[in-house]
Amino acid sequence: MLMTTDLTIKRCSAMLLVLGLATFGAAKASAQDAFASGWTLTPEMSNLRFQSVKKQTVVESSTFATLQGSIDETGSAKVTVLLDSVDTTIDLRNVRMRFLFFETFLFPEATITAQIDPAALSDLPQVRRKVIPITYTLDLHGVTKTQDTNVVATLLTDDMVSIASDAPISIAVADFDLATGLDKLQEAANVEIIPSATVSFDWIFARNTGTAAPAPAPAPASVALESTGNFDSEACKGRFEILSRTGNIYFASGSARLEDKSAPLLDSLADIVARCPGMVVEVGGHTDSVGSDALNMTLSEARAASVISYLVGTGLTRDALVSKGYGETTPIADNTTQEGRWKNRRIGFTVLENE
């Protein structure tokens, strides 16, 4: 009986030793290969939030609804933010952010890239949470800048990790050529906004398993947080008023010939007109005061007609559009300054009917 008991104890001890060595080996392998198999962002569990301040003291917090990202086996990380998915919780404020500030018809995405040193996370399976320094690159609105920050890495499970900001990151609008957009935003909302924002994030990555193909990337404009199908009257009128402020319709000097760089905004405009059935939209041409009244009136009429020709070419019916030239009769800024004249040379959009 004693011999049987001793034998059982020895066998159990051997099994525990084998299990212990196996567990140690697995932990060691995990520690040495923090990004084995690669990791993919889990968007429904992740967030990117920015806070802005208006009227000196009023803080507003906004997010983005659509994020994509990955960390490969070498620790190379990339997160893509689809800017059309900006969420301020108010429909027309989202539209202002998209068309006036971020100009998503030209710059639909922002990307954040970084190289995370796997060695910096070699002990994460044991400590579970740690702060590490990283150097990241932000590509936003056509401008690329590299900065340093700290992030908090938390191993939630063996196959899920959180990468989060250690403290809010300050982003100045001037650093990313967004000052003009901020001016448009302030004019549209009739409010003063501090020209910087603080950004924080918490991104959840899951370890890749199997060989499933990644989901196809959505079309940028399709992620906008707005109603599907047709817009109601208020949404349509608000959108046309906002698009009238963009200043992104361009003509050759002294000419009614549209420049190619006008196409992104006009294509977005065509989509909105199509989703406002029963409405007649006036396309109004305006000029500065340089030149004779008669020439300016003729030029404004021709430019408005050129915009309508482009919109009809996208498939819109001519009955939904009316062109009108105003010449120099309706300035919105001082014609004695270069900036004022630039603002006065514009195309505006106004709803005339709603059946």
Do 260 and 302 fall within a single domain? yes
Q: Which of 194, 221, 248 is the last residue of a domain?
A: 221
Give the C-alpha separation, 316 to 103, whole Å: 23
C-alpha separations of 204 from 68, 135, 163, 211 in Å: 11, 19, 6, 20
Residue 81 forms part of a structural domain = yes
Do 209 and 293 fall within a single domain? no
Residue 7 forms part of a structural domain = no
In this predicted structure, what is the pLDDT of residue 220?
Answer: 82
Do 69 and 85 fall within a single domain? yes
Higher pLDDT, 1 or 140: 140
pLDDT grade, residue 20 (50/70/90)?
very low
Mean local confidence (pLDDT), 101-107: 97
Q: Would you say residue 34 has pLDDT above 90?
A: no
Q: Tens digits of per-residue pLDDT, 184-208?
A: 999 999 999 999 999 999 999 999 9
Do 265 and 155 fall within a single domain? no
Q: Which of 202, 221, 240 is the last residue of a domain?
A: 221
In this predicted structure, what is the pLDDT of residue 218?
Answer: 84
Q: Tens digits of per-residue pLDDT, 153-168?
A: 999 999 999 999 999 9
Token pair for 199: 């950004």
Mean local confidence (pLDDT), 255-270: 96
CATH number at residue 264: 3.30.1330.60
Q: Position 336: which residue type?
A: T
In this predicted structure, what is the pLDDT of residue 209?
Answer: 86
Do 274 and 125 fall within a single domain? no
Element (H, E) at 353: strand 346-354
CA-nearest of 63, 157, 74 to 116 is: 74
Q: Would you say residue 253 has pLDDT above 90?
A: no
Distance of CA 266 to the CA centre of its chain: 20
Q: Tens digits of per-residue pLDDT, 263-290?
A: 999 999 999 999 999 999 999 999 999 9
In this predicted structure, what is the pLDDT of residue 7?
Answer: 46
Q: Would you say residue 121 has pLDDT above 70?
A: yes
In this predicted structure, what is the pLDDT of residue 353?
Answer: 61
Residue-range definition of the domain harbouring residue 326: 229-354
Give the C-alpha separation, 17 to 80, whole Å: 46
Higher pLDDT, 47 or 25: 47
Do 166 and 112 fall within a single domain? yes
Would strands 279-286 and 321-325 be described as parallel, antiparallel, or unpaired? Answer: parallel
Mean local confidence (pLDDT), 299-319: 96
Give the C-alpha separation, 271 to 314, whole Å: 9
Do 102 and 190 fall within a single domain? yes
Give the C-alpha separation, 119 to 33, whole Å: 8
Question: Lowest-confidence range among 98-102, 138-142, 223-227?
Answer: 223-227
CATH number at residue 118: 2.40.128.110
Higher pLDDT, 193 or 253: 193
Do 63 and 194 fall within a single domain? yes
Do 237 and 210 fall within a single domain? no
Q: Would you say residue 28 has pLDDT above 50?
A: no
DSSP state of 61: E
Phi-psi map region of 226: left, alpha, beta (phi>0 left; psi -120 to 50 alpha): beta
For residue 175, what are the contacts with CB-CB under 8 A and spacing of at least 6? Answer: 143, 145
Q: Position 301: which residue type?
A: E
For residue 338, what are the contacts with CB-CB under 8 A and spacing of at least 6? Answer: none
Residue 12 forms part of a structural domain = no
Q: What share of the chain is helix, strand, coil (3-state, %, to 5)?
A: 35, 30, 30
Residue 17 forms part of a structural domain = no
In this predicted structure, what is the pLDDT of residue 213?
Answer: 63
Residue 116 forms part of a structural domain = yes
Residue 233 forms part of a structural domain = yes
Residue 47 forms part of a structural domain = yes
Element (H, E) at 346: strand 346-354
- To the nearest whole percent, how much of the chain has pLDDT over 70? 88
Is residue 150 a contact partner of residue 58, using CB atoms and an 8 Å limit? no
Element (H, E) at 303: helix 293-313
Token pair for 39: 């990791």
Q: Would you say residue 32 has pLDDT above 70?
A: no
* CA torsion, ordered 184, 188, 194, 197, to nearest 10 deg: -80
Distance of CA 120 to the CA centre of its chain: 30
Do 40 and 133 fall within a single domain? yes
Structural domain total, the chain = 2
Residue 25 forms part of a structural domain = no
Do 293 and 262 fall within a single domain? yes
CA-nearest of 234, 313, 312 to 276 is: 234
pLDDT grade, residue 221 (50/70/90)?
confident
Do 65 and 177 fall within a single domain? yes
SS3 of residue 65 by DSSP: coil
Q: Would you say residue 214 has pLDDT above 90?
A: no
Q: Which of 196, 221, 246 is the last residue of a domain?
A: 221
